[in-house]
Amino acid sequence: MRMKRNIGIGLMGLGVVGGGVARVVLEKNRTLAEEIGCPLALKKVLVRDRGKPRPVLVDSHLLSLDPQEILADSEIDIVIEVIGGEHPALEYTKEALLRGKHVVTANKEVIAKHGAELLKMAQERGVSILYEASVGGGIPLLLPLHHGLLANEITTMYAIINGTTNYILTRMSNEGVSFDVALKKAQELGYAEPDAANDIEGKDAAYKLAILATVAFHTVVQPEDIYCQGISRLCKQDFRYAKELGYEIKLLAIAKQGDGSIEVRVHPAFIPVEFLLAKVDGVYNAVQIDGDLVGTLIFYGRGAGAQPTASAIIADVIATGRVICSEGKGSVRPRPPQRMPIRPVSELETRYYLRMGIADRPGVLAQIARVLGDHSISIASVIQKEADEVTQTAEIVIMTHPAREQFMQQSVSEMEGLSVVKEICNLIRVEE
């Protein structure tokens, strides 16, 4: 049995996400080959228009208008489907599986509606269909549910999984604007489609919740099983009252399991401001998962975009590629690592908070500032408190602009030598 020379990739779709995937496959080919065990070869890319100018440098002879050039090509091992929408993506996916090709897809609608059937087809043909990118963009969600949390019974999921609506709600909450104004802003910035109904009405979130709940609960949850209510009825006053009462308003996708049944719903919900989910702002996504052993987990990150989605797709391609490359002998063994130089802390550049006790007399701050200035450290702000009359000592706090650790430490040493400095109380780095 000879080793595979490479793994043939057929890419269906070269839009925003497809372009991101093509770029990673081309630009990171060497790293990916190391991870997989053999290189990926981009064999064919299905497009709707060959002549369209594209930002990614895909050789024009790889472009094709005919899906059969991918589906019927025996050199293609993995089909990546990033066309989106139910049809014809579903038909292409089925045909790829039937022809014994592995599939990696970002298509939430196809998986939410037909996932169980597709998994069954894949199992029968001895191939895999992976779909991490279909929910939560680049956030690893299905991976932990399929692997890392298997010892758990998942009881509850609360998810903010639609960036468009979360952006709108964040603006309504922070700026007190109306739904229409926030929606218009989202559309101007490209966070919402011209026809945003699927997002606004919670349908997109429902597709994703169907996928998450199906995996988490080992059951089939279809989009039509999900109670779904959108955000278009929310108005300014709701946000005012929410604040008054200590809540934020978020569009939550909720799945719970208990007593042999589950509940699945998507709707706007108040959540206490002190909850971490209440702080998930803008286009970010977050999924809170409760398991009987692990307790509460939260996964947070970008739920959309070319690069995050490509990150998830390529992870699935690597997982599939490893199995292909090892002739079915998968392995969970991490590679022994290499050695890289360690950068010493002295080379750190950051802002600092410095608190010290000083003599309460004129000219002291000037002396301190001179020491810092001598080491090219500039002061961002100073707080000086009333002096203690008995000890004639005052306390000051200095916030610096970014400075090098080495110079900061030297400054502190010099300051300790100044007669006007009674004590260096604390030096703390600022991370922001």
Which 90-149 positions form the footprint of a copy of itself (CB under 8 A)? 116, 119-120, 122-123, 128, 130, 132, 137-140, 142-144, 146-149
Q: Return the amino acid letter for 166.
A: N
Q: Does 173 bind a copy of itself (CB under 8 A)?
A: no
Handedness of CA 182, 187, 188, 190 (dihedral sign): positive
Q: Does 190 bind a copy of itself (CB under 8 A)?
A: no
φ/ψ bin of 26: left (φ > 0), alpha (ψ from -120 to 50), beta (otherwise):
alpha
Q: Does 261 bind a copy of itself (CB under 8 A)?
A: yes
Active-site residue, from 120, 208, 250, 385: 208
Q: Does 287 bind a copy of itself (CB under 8 A)?
A: no
φ/ψ bin of 22: left (φ > 0), alpha (ψ from -120 to 50), beta (otherwise):
alpha
Q: Given candidates 60, 174, 392, 426, which one binds a copy of itself under the rule CB under 8 A? A: 426
Q: Return the amino acid letter for 243.
A: K
Q: Return the amino acid letter for 258.
A: G
- Tell me the window of 64-72, 366-374, 392-400, 410-418 that interacts with a copy of itself (CB under 8 A): 392-400
Q: Does 1 bind a copy of itself (CB under 8 A)?
A: no
Q: Does 310 bind a copy of itself (CB under 8 A)?
A: yes
Q: Which two tokens stand for residue 9?
A: 């990739």
Q: Does the annotation count 44 as an active-site position?
A: no
- Do you know the residue count of the chain? 432
Task: In angstroms, give the least distance from the CB of 60 to a copy of itself.
Answer: 25
| Binding to a copy of itself in span 191-220, by CB under 8 A | 214-215, 217-220
| 16, containing H or E segment | helix 16-27
Q: Given candidates 41, 98, 262, 418, which one binds a copy of itself under the rule CB under 8 A? A: 262
Task: In angstroms, give the least distance from the CB of 49 to a copy of itself.
Answer: 27
Q: Given candidates 42, 80, 182, 271, which one binds a copy of itself under the rule CB under 8 A? A: 271
Q: Return the amino acid letter for 131.
A: Y
CB 316 within 8 A of CB 104: yes
Nearest-CA neighbor of 113 among 126, 140, 127, 131? 131
- Tell me the window of 55-63, 81-89, 298-306, 386-394 that interacts with a copy of itself (CB under 8 A): 298-306
Q: Does 241 bind a copy of itself (CB under 8 A)?
A: yes
Question: Whose Cβ is closer to a copy of itself: residue 39's or residue 69's?
Answer: 39
Question: Whose Cβ is closer to a copy of itself: residue 164's or residue 288's?
Answer: 288
Task: In angstroms, give the least distance from the CB of 140 to a copy of itself.
Answer: 3
Strands (E) located in 90-183: 102-105, 129-130, 154-160
Spatial distance between the Cα atoms of 170 and 188, rounded to a whole number of angstroms = 16
Q: Does 272 bind a copy of itself (CB under 8 A)?
A: yes
Q: Does 18 bind a copy of itself (CB under 8 A)?
A: no
CB 311 within 8 A of CB 21: no
| Binding to a copy of itself in span 333-362, by CB under 8 A | 333-345, 347-348, 353, 355
CA atoms within 13 A of residue 362's CA, in its CB half-sphere: 0
Question: Whose Cβ is closer to a copy of itself: residue 183's or residue 209's?
Answer: 209
- Tell me the window of 2-10, 24-32, 164-172, 195-203 that interacts with a copy of itself (CB under 8 A): 24-32
Is 385 exposed, middle or buried, given 0-12, 13-18 or 19+ CB atoms closer than 10 A? Answer: exposed
Q: Is 341 helix (H, G, I), strand (E, B) or coil?
A: coil
CB 134 within 8 A of CB 111: yes
Binding track, positions 26-65, relative to a copy of itself; x by CB under 8 A: --x---x--x------------------------------
Q: Return the amino acid letter for 310.
A: A
Residues touching a copy of itself: how many (CB under 8 A)? Answer: 128
Count other C-beta atoms under 10 Å from residue 331's C-beta: 9
Q: Does 365 bind a copy of itself (CB under 8 A)?
A: no
Q: Given candidates 238, 387, 409, 422, which one binds a copy of itself under the rule CB under 8 A? A: 238
CB 222 within 8 A of CB 111: no
Question: Whose Cβ is closer to a copy of itself: residue 64's or residue 214's?
Answer: 214
Q: Does 386 bind a copy of itself (CB under 8 A)?
A: no
Question: Whose Cβ is closer to a copy of itself: residue 74's or residue 261's?
Answer: 261
Spatial distance between the Cα atoms of 156 and 213, rounded to a whole number of angstroms = 9
Torsion, Cα of 108, 167, 262, 113 (10° steps) = -20
**Residues annotated as catalytic (active site), given as ranges:** 208
